[in-house]
Amino acid sequence: MAGVRTLKLGAIWWVGDGSRIGIWEDPWIPGSTSHRVISRQGQNILSSVSDLTDPRTGQWDVQLINQTFWLVDCQRILAIPLSDNVLEDFVAWEPTQTHTFSVRSAYHAEWNHQFGRRIYDCGGQGAMADHPIWKLIWDLRVPAKIKIFIWKTLHGALPCFVVLADRHVKFTLNVLDNYASASLSKAIPKKGGWSRPPLDSVKINVDAGFPCDELRGTAGVIIRDHAGDFVAAANARLDFVSDVASAEARAVKLGLLLATSLGCSRIILNADNAEIVGALNGMDKYYGPAVAIVEDCSQMLLDFTKCSVEYCCREANAVAHELAKMAWCSTPSSWAESPPPGILPLLCSLLFGWSFSRNQLQLNFWEKQLPQEALRSYPVPFFSASENAACCLMYV
C-alpha cells in the first residue's frame, strides 16, 4: 500500500481525448502542487475532461472553462496542448525529466513528501515563517554562528555531499579526474554555423521564446533554399503554453504548416531543442508534456516526400530566434519572397560567415571574389559590393 501511495505522488495524466480523466478527482494539471484543480466543484455536473473540449474543433472550450474554474486553473488548463489527431489519455511519471518511472525518483518523491514539506513549512515566507521552531532557535543561549548553522541545516543549505550531488555540483576531485581523461579535440568546442540544404530541398529553422514566469511564448520560423536565399518566414505569439518543450514543439508545428502551405516536398527541419528533436526522430518513446503537439508534428512529417529533423546549435538558429523575439514587440506576421528588414544582417552573416555583434554588424572582405548572385537576394539600401573590392556593411 505504501508503494501505491508513492506512485500516486508522482503520477500525472497527460490529456489525449480526455475521456478517461476525471476533472475533479484525477491528477492532470501541470504546475499544481497536487496536480489537481483547486476550484470547487459545487453543483457542477461536468465529470470528465472530454466535457471541457469543443466537439467541433477538438480543442478546449475556452468560454466553458472560464465559466467553470478559477483563474489559476483556467490558465493551467488552457496551457495543456491537445492533439489534432486521435490520442488516448495516459499516465506519466512527473518527477523525472523523461517522465518515465524509476525507483530512485520514487524514493525522492517519498522523501520530499515526508520531510521536504516539513522543512519548507519551517522556512517558508509569510505565515510559515512564524512557525514555533524559529522562536525556540532564536531564543537559544548559544553563539550566533550556532543559530546560523541550525538555520542552514533546516533550509538544506549546508554543502554536504548529498546536497551537492542532488544539485549536480561537482566536487574538487572531479576536476582532476576530468583533466586526466580529457581529450583535446573534445575540450575545444567547434564553432557551428548555418549550412545549406541539398539542391532539391529547403531548410526550415524554428525557435521559440518562453519566459519561465509566464504561461505564454513566441515562435519564429524561416525557410531557405539550397542557395541560402530567403523563401519564407513567420512568427507567432503563443497565448497559452506551460513549458519550454511545448513552446518549441509549437514552433516546429508552425514551421511545418508554413512549409505545407508553400508546397514544399523535401525539407530539413532544424531546431535547437534536443528533447523535441529526439522525440520527432523516435529515439525513445516520448512521454513529455508536449506529447500531443509532437504527435501532430510526427503525422505532418509523413506528408512530405523526404524529410529529416536535425539538432542545430543556437548560432545556426539565430534568425529564427530573432523572429521569435520580434513577435513580442510587433504584430506577428508571415513573409514570402522578401524578408523583414530586422533579420537582413543575420541572414547575410550566416550565409557568408560574416562576424556580427548584438548592436553592430561589420563585414570586411578584402580582395575576395564575392558571390554576387546571392548578394542580390538581399536588397539592402545601404549595402554596396563589387568584385575584388572591400565590402563593408555597418548595421546599428
Average pLDDT over residues 303-331: 93
Q: How confident is the model at residue 302 (pLDDT cuts 50, 70, 90)?
A: very high
| Grid cell in block for residue 42 | 459545487
| Grid cell in block for residue 240 | 497559452
Give the pLDDT confidence of 33-53 residue by residue, as tens digits. 889 999 999 889 999 999 999
Res. 209: pLDDT tops 60: yes
Q: Angle at which helices 244-262 and 291-301 pack, to 10 degrees?
A: 20
Lowest mean pLDDT, pick from 91-100, 117-126, 169-178, 330-339: 117-126
Residue written as grid cell 522578401: 338
How do the domains of the chain map onto residue ranges?
A: 2-93, 124-187, 202-340
Report the candidate in 266, 258, 203, 235 with the shortest Cα–Cα distance to residue 331.
Answer: 235
| Grid cell in block for residue 331 | 504584430
Contact 305, 265 (CB under 8 A): yes
Average pLDDT over residues 169-182: 67
What is d(CA 319, CA 314) in angstroms, rounded to the nearest whole number? 10
pTM of the model: 0.72
Res. 358: pLDDT tops 70: no
Q: What is the mean pLDDT of the chain?
A: 80
Q: What is the pLDDT, as a whole number, of residue 102?
A: 84
Res. 227: pLDDT tops 70: yes
Contact 206, 255 (CB under 8 A): yes
Contact 258, 234 (CB under 8 A): yes
Q: How many CB atoms lie within 10 A of CB 175?
A: 10
**Cα distance from N-terminal residue to C-terminal residue, the chain:** 66
Q: How confident is the model at residue 202 (pLDDT cuts 50, 70, 90)?
A: very high
The DSSP secondary-structure symbol of 289 reads T
Q: How confident is the model at residue 252 (pLDDT cuts 50, 70, 90)?
A: very high
**Cα radius of gyration (the chain):** 26
H helices of the chain, in order, are 2-10, 62-68, 71-78, 103-111, 117-123, 132-138, 144-154, 161-166, 172-181, 184-187, 244-262, 274-280, 291-301, 318-329, 344-352, 372-375
Res. 343: pLDDT tops 60: yes
Res. 253: pLDDT tops 90: yes
Residue type for position 264: C
What is d(CA 392, CA 102) in angstroms, rounded to the nearest whole number? 57
The listed CATH number (3.90.1410.10, 3.30.420.10, 3.40.50.2300, 3.30.750.24) that belongs to domain 202-340: 3.30.420.10
Contact 368, 375 (CB under 8 A): no
Most confident of 90-99, 141-150, 302-311, 367-376: 302-311
* C-alpha 14, offset from chain centre: 17
- CA distances to 24, 127, 279 from 291, rounded to whole Å, are 23, 39, 9
Report the candidate in 350, 330, 349 with the shortest Cα–Cα distance to residue 340.
Answer: 330
Contacts by residues 37-42 (CB-CB < 8 Å, ≥ 24 positions apart): 37/69, 37/73, 37/77, 38/70, 38/72, 38/73, 39/68, 39/69, 39/70, 39/73
What is d(CA 229, CA 219) in angstroms, rounded to the nearest whole number? 21
Element (H, E) at 31: none
**pLDDT above 70 as % of the chain:** 75
Q: What is the pLDDT, as a whole number, of residue 73?
A: 94
Residue type for position 251: A
Q: Angle at which helices 2-10 and 103-111 pack, to 10 degrees?
A: 90
Q: What is the pLDDT, as a whole number, of residue 185?
A: 52
Q: What is the pLDDT, as a whole number, of residue 285?
A: 84
Give the pLDDT confidence of 137-153 residue by residue, as tens digits. 888 889 988 888 888 87
